[in-house]
Amino acid sequence: MPVALNSQLGSKEQADAQLAQAIMSAMRVSMPGIIQSFDPDAVTAVVQPAIKGAEKDESGAQVSVNLPLLVDVPVVFPRGGGCTLTFPVKPGDECLVIFADRCIDFWWQSGGIQEPVDERMHDLSDAFCIVGPQSQAKKNRRYQHQCGRAAQR
């Protein structure tokens, strides 16, 4: 006896929920990362995302995997009015990686307002790195709440 199609596929609401989940799980917004190397001349870093991704193995089971290294990631330093606050960036430093809505290639090369090179969105290759966010394991234990100060870890 044939099985009804909607009993095989589920309701429209279930299908919509699965589609929404698939879209959200593929969209990159931001995640913590760990600096692997820093190029002070290019002001870029190689960053290992600190949250694992998921993929299916040969049997179709979901497994946890490291995401690929992010290379040539522009590092953000506070800047404005012709002044930039810089500080040393070292391997092992934690950071926040932000993924641009659209391809940043032409903007990164030339500045100004640019057309996107291609249609990619929220892609691992369109990241910026903000050094400073820290896990509890690496937090600054000499934090001063009364006034601003520069401190070494």
* Amino acid 74: pLDDT: 98
Listed residue (74, 69, 109) closest to 89, CA to CA: 74
- CA–CA separation, 114 vs 17, rounded Å? 35
- pTM value? 0.79
pLDDT band of 16, cuts 50, 70, 90:
confident
Secondary structure of residue 120 in the 3-state scheme = coil
Is the CB of residue 77 less than 8 Å from the CB of residue 88?
Answer: no
DSSP label at residue 68: P
Tokens representing 66? 């490291």
CB atoms within 10 A of CB 132: 14
* Amino acid 60: pLDDT: 86
- CA–CA separation, 123 vs 43, rounded Å? 20
The length of the chain in residues reads 153
Q: What is the pLDDT of residues 47-94, one digit of tens each?
A: 999 999 888 889 988 999 999 999 999 999 998 999 999 999 999 999
The residues near 122 (Cβ < 8 Å, ≥ 6 apart) are 26, 27, 28, 29, 99, 100, 101
Tell me the CATH class for 29-135.
Answer: mainly beta
Is the pLDDT assigned to residue 31 strictly greater than 80? yes
Q: What is the pLDDT of residues 88-130, one digit of tens each?
A: 999 999 999 999 999 999 999 999 999 988 999 999 999 999 9
Query: In percent, how much of the chain has pLDDT > 70?
Result: 87
Output Rg (C-alpha) for the chain, integer angstroms. Answer: 21
* Amino acid 140: pLDDT: 78
* Amino acid 17: pLDDT: 81
Mean pLDDT of 30-48: 98
